Amino acid sequence: MTRVPTLCRHGTTRFEQGIPEPLTLNVHSTSHLLADEAVTVESAYPLIGPGDPEPYSVYNPEGKAPVLLVCDHASKAFPRAMNQLGLADWVLEKHVACDIGAAAVTRYLSDRFDAPAVLAGYSRLIVDLNRKLEGESAFVKVSDGIAVPGNMDIGEEEKAERVASFFEPYHGAITEQLQRFQQRGIQPAFISVHTCTPVFNQVVRQMHIGVMWDQDARIPVPLIRNLAAMDGVCVGDNEPYSGRHPHDFTIDHHAERDELPCVGIEVRQDLVSDDAGAHKWANILADALEAVLSDVVGLDTGPGPVNKL
């Protein structure tokens, strides 16, 4: 992975990357519940039992904005039967289990723009929803130095059950939301929300918000410019991660394949680890995004649903 400098002024970067072949995904009914709410789930999902959360949730499904928000790593939940893959409770409070604060930022952006959002219902340690399934990082054995016992000897049959229970339903829900836009003749902006640790490999990350992108500059370049112009905001251009990462999946599969305007967002998790922080930085992001989305997809920024929270 190529690192690029953190920017407090705007910059541009362009990459070339292959687009993965489409998957055939099972589309399941949409839930309006938040990602961590427990509900009864039917046996369509092999590893999810009664009383477990659903594999995804759709927040504000009737949102009117031409924008779809997604959050791959929204939840730290595990189905009861999976026994946390043998992990201690304290591991679930770490970044390895989920993107801390990402779900709250996603929902605040959804409220601010009146846009639908799809959020994952389970921990990425079960299967990483933002990874190609053929890669080892989809079923990670060691994450940030922490061994994941339940992934050490995972066989193909169990991988298939996890894909059917978590990966396919989540990506099927995203496909369903995009089809709803298509039926209305709308090409939406596609925004993927993540958070990252403030320190990685003993290196302090100076950026507050990272903007991840590959070949499509429509959203990221003006977004980087707007963020860099804000007092006290330091923005990373393809930092802390690069939008050209060969193993990433969600944006590549759902957005780049169909040439949707898209961007990946990384917010430093120490800034959004509580509700007040998530609210503050969601509004900073929304302020920087608002004019960009108006120009690119015709977001209505007049009196109405787009308001500061």
62-117 confidence digits (pLDDT tens): 999 999 999 999 999 999 999 999 999 999 999 999 999 999 999 999 999 999 99
Convert the pLDDT of each residue in 256-296 to its tens digit.
Answer: 989 999 999 999 999 999 999 999 999 999 999 999 999 99
Domain for residue 304, yes or no? no
126 falls within a domain: yes
More confident residue, 304 or 254: 254
Q: How many CA atoms lie within 13 A of 273 on its CB side?
A: 10
Asked whether 66 and 187 are in contact (CB, 8 A), the reply is yes
CB 188 within 8 A of CB 68: yes
Would you state the pLDDT for residue 294? 97
Distances 214 to 4, 115, 123 between C-alpha atoms, Å: 13, 24, 26
**Residue that wins the pLDDT comparison between 243 and 57:** 57
Higher per-residue pLDDT: 127 or 18: 127
pLDDT at position 31 is 34
Can you tell me the mean pLDDT for 1-7? 37
Task: Calculate the average pLDDT of the chain.
Answer: 86
Question: pLDDT higher for 144 or 222?
Answer: 222
- Residue 301: its pLDDT value, please? 81
- pTM of the predicted protein model: 0.84
Q: Between 50 and 301, whose confidence is greater?
A: 50
Where does residue 145 fall: left (phi above 0), alpha (psi -120 to 50 degrees), or beta otherwise?
A: left
Q: Is the pLDDT of residue 38 over 70?
A: no
Tell me if 302 is assigned to some domain. Answer: no
Average pLDDT over every residue of 125-136: 94
Q: How confident is the model at residue 302 (pLDDT cuts 50, 70, 90)?
A: low
Mean pLDDT over residues 119-132, rounded?
A: 97
Domain membership flag for residue 284: yes
How confident is the model at residue 23, as a pLDDT?
38
In sequence order, the 6+-apart residues with CB closer than 8 A to the CB of 247 are: 131, 132, 135, 137
Q: How far apart are CA 268 and CA 220, in angstroms?
A: 18
pLDDT of residue 34 exceeding 70, the answer is no
Domain containing residue 63: CATH number: 3.40.630.40
In a domain, 179, yes or no: yes
On whether residue 66 sits in a domain, the answer given is yes
307 assigned to some structural domain? no
The pLDDT tens digits for 239-263 are 888 888 777 899 999 999 899 999 9
- More reliable by pLDDT, 195 or 10: 195
Q: CA-to-CA distance for 66 and 180, rounded, in angstroms?
A: 11
Number of domain units in the chain: 1
Residue 156 and residue 195 in contact, taking contact as beta carbons nearer than 8 Å:
no
Q: Give the rounded percent of residues in the chain with a pLDDT score beyond 90.
A: 74
Q: Which of 48-52, 184-188, 201-205, 293-297 has the lowest mean pLDDT?
A: 201-205
Residue found under tokens 């709803």? 180
Evaluate whether residue 1 is within a structural domain. Answer: no
Give the residue numbers spanning the domain of 220: 6-297
